Structure 1
Amino acid sequence: MLIFNNKTDLKAQLAKLRETNSGVGFVPTMGALHNGHLSLLKESVKHNSHTVISIFVNPTQFNNPEDLEKYPRTLETDVDKIKTVSEDIIVFAPSVKEMYDDNITSANFSFDGLENQMEGRFRPGHFDGVGTIVKKLFEIVEPDNAYFGEKDFQQLQIVKKMVEKNNMPVNVVGCPILREENGLAMSSRNQRLSEEDKTKAALIYKTLTEARQLFDSHSVEYITEYVNNIFKAHPEFEMEYFEVAEEDTLLPASIKENKKYRAFIAVFLSNIRLIDNISLN
């Protein structure tokens, strides 16, 4: 398995591989890999001659310094997990200096309003940080296809918009959410949950599935009130937002039209922030 810490060496290796006109798939991650990440790798390996995974905890997308400090960093374990998918996957694990030199700041992006909804309201500057690092990584790896999980559905739409607005020749592929047996969406942050909290966190997906069942026959206002009341009855959770939004624009839905909708949620449990979403159509 090839592991690169230097972008110049990685680019040189990928240039050699491209001499045979073979396709490159790319899975950008912040490490602390779980089966959700591995499912993205499997998808890339299936559809591309070569696959690159980046492991980089990006400082510019954290608006909470404590969250950045506590984010799990498990490179050795991550590499072992990657090998279970394929020994031929290329790992790019740069330092902060390699990616940002001495200028650890975000560029300013416009994502046509996608950045102002949900996560954007509660995490100022987050999507500028996401756009900055994904653009840098795309320029280094130059992938044909890039794979993102739908758990971060807003991020997926943001990346698609960035690619479109910057005319980048990358096909961005959204992949289904992988869940624990109790329905909890797989996330690197789950590593910080106690076993008791993981059991409690099943309420998130359970409530989303109930919202989906209600969607056909009830108003958005009714569903929103229903969800808020469930979490009010479980004070161990702190609700940040629940939103029914249109998939393409991410604008909050008030009346239902002939469009695709999703329910989005963010809650804190034991001071750990958990997000999830579900298609309602």
Structure 2
Amino acid sequence: MKIFTTRSEIQQHLTASGGKTIGFVPTMGALHQGHLSLIAQAKAGNDVVVCSIFVNPTQFTNARDLEDYPRPIDADIAKLEAAGCDILFNPPVTEMYDGNEHWHLNIGQLEFLLEGEFRPGHYQGVMQVVYKLLDIIKPTTLYLGQKDYQQFMVVSKMVEMLGISVQLVMCAIERETDGLAMSSRNIHLTPVDRQHALILSKTLNWLKNNFNIKNVFQLEQDAMAMLQSEPGVEPEYIEIADGKTLLPANEQSTSIVALAAARVGKTRLIDNVVIV
């Protein structure tokens, strides 16, 4: 696997191998099987697989979260090599930002729903860095995980609005055997927290198994009560939404997803399940 830390080097390398399809997996590192499943899909569908590891400061709304974000780069490199990744792009912050930049793309209410309500400004930072990465890598296909469902929609909207030539693929959530969605943040869970965290996937599965479009409000109320009753869990939201807009689901919705976020101990987790 080749490792690049500057834009010019990776662009030069990719230009020299022109004509090949490029599958791109952007990450912030602390890789787990969920990330590696994206690498596997990219590898199956492309000539070249590029992964980026960059802890993007502009998408953190809490300075402490940025400081605490895990950065096990040596372990990540070993995992990528074992997975057969071709190229790693691991730039420093100074390579990605010049310190005097302004970014804002009006994507409408999608930015302010769910995660956007609890993390204002987060999605502007996500779009800013993904735009930069797409401009550098110029991939054929971009692979993103379903666990960040809203992020996938935000990036899709940006790609559409800016006319970026790339295909987006949403990859299914990878879960531990007990149902916990894999996340880089899981490393911060204590053994007790981890057991309590299972209430997220249990509640989302309960919603899926008991779904009735005529009873959405009551289902959401019952699901919130389930989360609130679990020790050490502070739910932020659990909502049944239209899978194409993330507005409240209704009888006209052809795609429906249930999404949840909660603090478990000191760790904030998100999860979702596609209902229809």
| TM beyond 0.5 | yes
Kindly report the root-mean-square deviation, in angstroms, between the aligned alpha carbons of the 2 structures. 1.2
The one-letter amino acid paired with 2:94 is K
Q: Deviations over 1:253-276 (max 9, x none)?
A: 2x3334211011000011210000
**Secondary structure of the residue that 1:54 maps to in structure 2?**
strand
What are the equivalent positions in structure 2 for 1:244-255 lying under 5 Å apart?
244-253=240-249, 255=250
**Is 1:39 matched with 2:34?**
no
**Is 1:89 matched with 2:86?**
yes
**Secondary structure of the residue that 2:271 maps to in structure 1?**
strand
Equivalent residue, structure 2, for 1:54:
52
Change (3 A) 1:258 1:246: closer
Say whether the 8 Å CA contact 1:106–1:128 is kept in structure 2. no
Equivalent residue, structure 2, for 1:230:
226
**Is 1:145 matched with 2:141?**
yes
Give the deviation of 1:141 after TM superposition. Answer: 0.2
**Is 1:12 matched with 2:23?**
no
Equivalent residue, structure 1, for 2:182:
186
**Secondary structure of the residue that 1:183 maps to in structure 2?**
coil
Q: Deviations over 1:30-73 (max 9, x none)?
A: 00000000000000011000011000000000000011100001
What are the equivalent positions in structure 2 for 1:1-281 lying under 5 Å apart?
1-18=1-18, 21-86=19-84, 88-103=85-100, 107-216=103-212, 219-253=215-249, 255-281=250-276
Give the deviation of 1:218 after TM superposition. Answer: 5.6
The one-letter amino acid paired with 2:264 is L
Say whether the 8 Å CA contact 2:203–2:227 is kept in structure 1. no
Q: Deviations over 1:46-102 (max 9, x none)?
A: 10000110000000000000111000011110000001111x520000000000022
Say whether the 8 Å CA contact 1:32–1:75 is kept in structure 2. yes
CA distance in 2, matches of 1:256, 1:202: 30
CA distance in 2, matches of 1:110, 1:45: 33
Say whether the 8 Å CA contact 1:239–1:266 is kept in structure 2. yes
CA distance in 1, matches of 2:134, 2:24: 9
Say whether the 8 Å CA contact 2:193–2:232 is kept in structure 1. no
Which piece of structure 1 moves more, 73-82 or 233-242?
Answer: 233-242
Say whether the 8 Å CA contact 2:199–2:230 is kept in structure 1. no
**Secondary structure of the residue that 2:17 maps to in structure 1?**
helix
Q: Deviations over 1:170-229 (max 9, x none)?
A: 101100000011111100000111222222211110110001111137611111111111
How many residues end up aligned between the 2 structures? 276
Change (3 A) 1:217 1:134: closer
Give the deviation of 1:145 after TM superposition. Answer: 0.2
**Secondary structure of the residue that 2:108 maps to in structure 1?**
coil
CA distance in 2, matches of 1:200, 1:218: 30
The one-letter amino acid paired with 1:262 is V
The normalised TM-score by structure 1 is: 0.95
**Secondary structure of the residue that 1:179 maps to in structure 2?**
coil
Deviation above 6 Å: which 4+ runs of structure 1?
A: none
The one-letter amino acid paired with 1:263 is A
Say whether the 8 Å CA contact 1:182–1:199 is kept in structure 2. no
Runs of 5+ unmatched residues, structure 2: none
**Secondary structure of the residue that 1:215 maps to in structure 2?**
coil
The one-letter amino acid paired with 1:234 is E
The normalised TM-score by structure 2 is: 0.97
